[in-house]
Amino acid sequence: MATSPKRGLVLVADDDPTMRLLMLEMLAQVGLDAIEAEDGVKALACYHSVAPDLVLLDVDMPGMDGFSVCREIRRLETQASVPIIMVTGGDELESVTRAYEAGATDFVSKPINWPILGHRVLYVLRASDAISRLRIADAQHRAVLAAIPDTFFRMNKDGYYLDYEQGHEASSVFSTERCVGHHLSQVLPADIAGHMLEQVQTVLDTQHIRSLDYELPLPGPAPRVRQGEHPAPRPVRHFEARLVATGPDEVLGLVRDISERKRSEEQIRRLAYCDSLTGIPNRQAFLETLEAELARSRKANKKFAVLFMDLDAFKRINDTLGHDVGDHLLKAVSERLRETTRPGDLISRTEAATNLARLGGDEFTILIPDLERVEDALNVAHRVKEAMRRPFLLDAHEIFVTASIGISLYPEDGEDCNSLLKYADTAMYHAKNCGKNNAKLYSSSLTMQIMSHVKLEVGLRKALQNDELYLLYQPQIDVASAQITGFEALVRWRHPERGVISPTEFIPLAEETGLIVPIGEWVLRTACQQAMAWQTAGKPPVRVAVNLSAKQFKDENLMQIVLSVLHDTGLPAELLELELTEGTLMDDARATMATLEQLRGIGVYLSIDDFGTGYSSMNYLKRFDVRALKIDKSFISGLPLDSENAAITRAIIAMAHGLKMAVVAEGVETDAQLVLLEQYGCDMVQGYYLGHPSPPDTIHRMLASQTALAMT
Ligand SMILES: Nc1nc2c(ncn2[C@@H]2O[C@@H]3COP(=O)(O)O[C@H]4[C@@H](O)[C@H](n5cnc6c(=O)[nH]c(N)nc65)O[C@@H]4COP(=O)(O)O[C@H]3[C@H]2O)c(=O)[nH]1
């Protein structure tokens, strides 16, 4: 008979040799090895020496019966329990019960059904093997669970905790007793419980892992609130629960305390989203806030505004007072902006800090959500402007700044973040061009304006070569002698379609595009030629004043150009007056000083134009050492009634004389103004009352009549 391969070692203990023989034969049939013992004591000894895989134990044996042997084996066992099959004398219940009580795994009763004995033993061996494998797996699972810091629980599909094991590193939020047998909603806050139950259902439906984050207040009493103070936020811990299905109706949950991770994430976020100088959100943070606000407003059908603010004189402050003061100023500005844009002021529902950001340099942005009227945005802009106007006291310097603000609106101006930010920026530039310390809305009309700006620029590029520019001259009169001492050259553009265009419209454009340099050179040359032409025509030598824009003044070829014009035209340098505005001079005071020195060196007459409209430091004014100061016409226009302007005019004249400068009053339109200016000691006057800007031949006649008058 073919035998199966050996599958284990069986200890057969029976006092009946025939029974042992038959048993051995049957076991061999199913591929099992066996050793025999003829009584209980020998069986025990055998068990110790060979450690069999299974014991087949007769109940009735002399000396020590099968029950005692079984009990003794069980007593001696350390870990794995060997399967023991008791061979009972009959079917009587009592010996079966005794067999189990003694620790038997199974029993067979006599008379033995020999053909199936081997299979029965094999089955018990297999079952025992499976049980020991299960035991190992269980031990492994317990070891794994003991090693991980997480809390774990089992939960049924209805949300009842079946098991709950607190992780060894977990903050002790709940005890096992509080959870096992209880429903989620009795343990966790209602919203978290609801969410977790939803996830449990999803996990069971899909059999995929799910996770959810939530936070719970730390156990213990709430922090005390002192009178008049806002309650501090209650400390919380953050958790992440991962849920995995362990059967059709049951999930295993692993809960990890992720508070540390959240804290690190928050710190990283703060570093990445915070402007390191001012502590307010940076460009990245603002763009994300804007993106979120856009989505929210789109959904809720709401409006919002983006304010783009730029300080008007920041570069000058940085250059003259140094970068440290510049940095302090930016911090102080952001602090003031923070105060001005508190949530209450912004009609905002979110934290103000996220609505305010520094994009870089001296550029700040403010987001105004839930905008009801455009006026609300203008009001915020106005408040910001006013806040900036209050002097900043930094490192013993009293600093005055103004801000230009551009505003774009959602949805009117644009439907995406980049456009809205770009339009607010464009509007800010527009505000700057309109005289700084201004707030302007971006609007389609602004787009049109920009379009026409572009068209104008194309035309201006051709104006020079097409001979479309020409000069008018306005006389400057000496008050004491009533004699013409000079003329101011004022440029005009005869546009082929639009007619005559004022310099106030195209000079800023020429400055912006750099065209001012060739145009300025043309003006300088033409004016000098003209002054020389009058002189050669026998008229007395008069000074000609030419406006010099900031760009021209900074042009490195300026000296070269002035020298070559004087040389080519033959005009003596002292008959050329260059008018510079306060802004031009103060923009980069140190560089200004050097250029002024060079110009003075060749004998050119220098004056400050539009005095009183810009910012001048007395200190610098003294060191600039210019010859004349022109009081801006805005101070003269209200005279003699406007007592404030009268006082300013008088003070400017006194100050200029103190600095040994001559004073020219611009925009004199009436006799009363002339009389008053004479009383104040003003040296020269210019204005419609004394002569409009006029073409060269009119001036020629004017000079001729003056010469004739002088000869009579
Ligand atoms: N209301 C009033 N206005 C008077 C009176 N008398 C003169 N004006 C005007 O006041 C302006 C004086 O020139 P500005 O202050 O240098 O101001 C000038 C100057 O800054 C600039 N500009 C003119 N020509 C040139 C130039 O060739 N180069 C540069 N860079 N700028 C120029 O354009 C500005 C405006 O020039 P204009 O339109 O010619 O305007 C001129 C002149 O026409 C008066 O009695 N009442």
Asked if 385 and 521 sit in the same domain, the reply is no
- Helices (H) and strands (E) counted in the chain, each on its own, are 28, 26
If residue 127 lies in a helix (H) or strand (E), which one and from where to where? helix 114-147
How does DSSP classify residue 694? B
Asked if 613 and 628 sit in the same domain, the reply is yes
CA-proximal residue: ligand 1, atom 42 (nearest): 693
Asked if 132 and 162 sit in the same domain, the reply is no
Kindly indicate the confidence band of residue 581, based on its pLDDT and cuts at 50, 70 and 90.
confident
Q: What percent of the chain has pLDDT over 90?
A: 57
Kindly indicate the confidence band of residue 691, based on its pLDDT and cuts at 50, 70 and 90.
very high
Asked if 157 and 256 sit in the same domain, the reply is yes
Task: Classify residue 50: in a domain, yes or no.
Answer: yes
ipTM over 0.90: yes
**Beta-strand pair 392-394/403-410:** unpaired
CA distance 333 to 314: 11
Asked if 165 and 281 sit in the same domain, the reply is no
Place of tokens 């669970």: 145
Could you count the other beta carbons within 10 Å of the beta carbon of residue 499?
A: 8
Predicted local confidence at residue 157, as pLDDT: 94
CA distance 437 to 583: 14
The boundaries of the domain holding residue 694 are: 516-711
Give mean pLDDT, residues 699-712.
75
Of 228-237, 243-252, 546-555, least confident by mean pLDDT is 228-237
Of 167-176, 434-443, 627-636, least confident by mean pLDDT is 167-176
Asked if 90 and 25 sit in the same domain, the reply is yes
Contact in structure between 685 and 479 (CB atoms under 8 Å): yes
CA distance 407 to 308: 6
**Helix spans in 274-390 (H):** 283-300, 314-321, 323-340, 343-346, 352-355, 374-389
Q: Probe ligand 1: pick from 469, 476, 490, max atoms within 8 Å of CB?
A: 490
Residue 216's nearest CA partner among 173, 186, 264 is 173
pLDDT tens-digit series, residues 450-473: 667 778 888 998 998 899 999 999
CA distance 364 to 369: 17
Q: Which amino acid is at 607?
A: S
Task: Classify residue 369: in a domain, yes or no.
Answer: yes
Helix/strand/coil (H/E/C) assignment for every residue in 185-236 = HHHCCHHHHHHHHHHHHHHHHHCCCEEEEEEEECCCCCCCCCCCCCCCCCCE
Task: Classify residue 461: in a domain, yes or no.
Answer: no
Predicted local confidence at residue 169, as pLDDT: 63
Asked if 427 and 540 sit in the same domain, the reply is no
CA-proximal residue: ligand 1, atom 9 (nearest): 667
Q: What six digits make up the tokens of 266?
A: 């928050």
Predicted local confidence at residue 493, as pLDDT: 95
Predicted local confidence at residue 406, as pLDDT: 94
What's the structural domain count of the chain? 4
Q: Which residue has the higher pLDDT, 636 or 272?
A: 636
Question: Residues 224-246, buried b or exposed e (16+ Cβ, 10 A)?
Answer: eeeeeeeeeeeeebbbbbbbebe
Q: Probe ligand 1: pick from 468, 501, 666, max atoms within 8 Å of CB?
A: 666
Predicted local confidence at residue 32, as pLDDT: 93
Place of tokens 């007459």: 605
Q: Which residues contact 601 (CB under 8 A, 6 or more apart)?
A: none
Whole-number CA gyration radius for the chain: 50
If residue 405 lies in a helix (H) or strand (E), which one and from where to where? strand 403-410
Contact in structure between 255 and 173 (CB atoms under 8 Å): no
If residue 454 lies in a helix (H) or strand (E), which one and from where to where? helix 444-463
**Atom from ligand 1 closest to the CA of residue 552:** 30
Model pTM score? 0.49
The dihedral of CA 307, 308, 311, 312: what is its sign? negative
Tell me how far the alpha carbon of residue 489 lies from the centroid of ligand 1, in angstroms: 9
Asked if 644 and 530 sit in the same domain, the reply is yes
Q: Does residue 490 register a pLDDT over 50?
A: yes
Q: What is the CATH number of the domain that holds 287?
A: 3.30.70.270
Q: Does residue 663 register a pLDDT over 80?
A: yes
Predicted local confidence at residue 599, as pLDDT: 93
Q: What is the CATH number of the domain that holds 135?
A: 3.40.50.2300
Q: Does residue 190 register a pLDDT over 80?
A: yes
Contact in structure between 606 and 661 (CB atoms under 8 Å): no
Task: Classify residue 606: in a domain, yes or no.
Answer: yes
Contact in structure between 405 and 431 (CB atoms under 8 Å): yes
Q: Which residue has the higher pLDDT, 78 or 113?
A: 113
Q: Does residue 351 register a pLDDT over 70?
A: no
Task: Classify residue 599: in a domain, yes or no.
Answer: yes
Of 269-273, 274-278, 539-543, 549-553, least confident by mean pLDDT is 269-273
Q: Probe ligand 1: pick from 460, 511, 526, 547, max atoms within 8 Å of CB?
A: 547
Asked if 705 and 559 sit in the same domain, the reply is yes
Q: Does residue 116 register a pLDDT over 80?
A: yes
Q: Which residue has the higher pLDDT, 110 or 692?
A: 692
CA distance 88 to 84: 12
Asked if 112 and 161 sit in the same domain, the reply is no
Q: What six digits make up the tokens of 688?
A: 């419609």
Of 83-92, 537-546, 672-681, least confident by mean pLDDT is 83-92
Q: What is the SS3 assignment for 156?
A: strand
Task: Classify residue 477: in a domain, yes or no.
Answer: no
Predicted local confidence at residue 101, as pLDDT: 93
Of 25-34, 181-190, 584-593, least confident by mean pLDDT is 584-593
CA distance 425 to 405: 8
Tell me how far the alpha carbon of residue 573 lies from the centroid of ligand 1, in angstroms: 23
Question: Residues 262-275, buried b or exposed e (16+ Cβ, 10 A)?
Answer: beeeeeeeeeebbb
Predicted local confidence at residue 705, as pLDDT: 83
pLDDT tens-digit series, residues 55-92: 999 999 988 999 999 999 999 887 668 999 999 876 67
**Mean residue pLDDT across the chain:** 87
Tell me how far the alpha carbon of residue 633 lies from the centroid of ligand 1, in angstroms: 10
Asked if 640 and 578 sit in the same domain, the reply is yes
Task: Classify residue 540: in a domain, yes or no.
Answer: yes
CA distance 13 to 41: 10
pLDDT tens-digit series, residues 390-432: 889 887 788 888 899 999 999 988 889 999 999 999 999 988 8
* Residue at which a domain ends, from 144, 159, 178: 144
Task: Classify residue 1: in a domain, yes or no.
Answer: no
Predicted local confidence at residue 432, as pLDDT: 85
Of 198-207, 267-276, 703-712, least confident by mean pLDDT is 703-712
Q: What is the CATH number of the domain that holds 162?
A: 3.30.450.20
Q: Which residue has the higher pLDDT, 379 or 548?
A: 548
CA distance 567 to 565: 5
Residue 430's nearest CA partner among 586, 317, 308, 581 is 308
Q: Does residue 644 register a pLDDT over 50?
A: yes
Q: What is the CATH number of the domain that holds 680?
A: 3.20.20.450
Residue 554's nearest CA partner among 526, 591, 598 is 591
Q: Which residue has the higher pLDDT, 508 or 669?
A: 669
Q: What percent of the chain has pLDDT over 70?
A: 91
**Atom from ligand 1 closest to the CA of residue 490:** 24
Kindly indicate the confidence band of residue 711, based on its pLDDT and cuts at 50, 70 and 90.
low
How does DSSP classify residue 4? P
Asked if 531 and 637 sit in the same domain, the reply is yes
Q: What is the DSSP string of 644-680?
A: HHHHHHHHHHHHHHHTT-EEEE----SHHHHHHHHHH
In this structure, the residues whose C-beta lies within 6 A of any atom of ligand 1 are 474, 490-491, 502-504, 507, 520, 523, 547, 549, 579, 609-610, 633, 666-669, 687-688, 693
CA distance 25 to 31: 10
Q: Does residue 360 register a pLDDT over 50?
A: yes
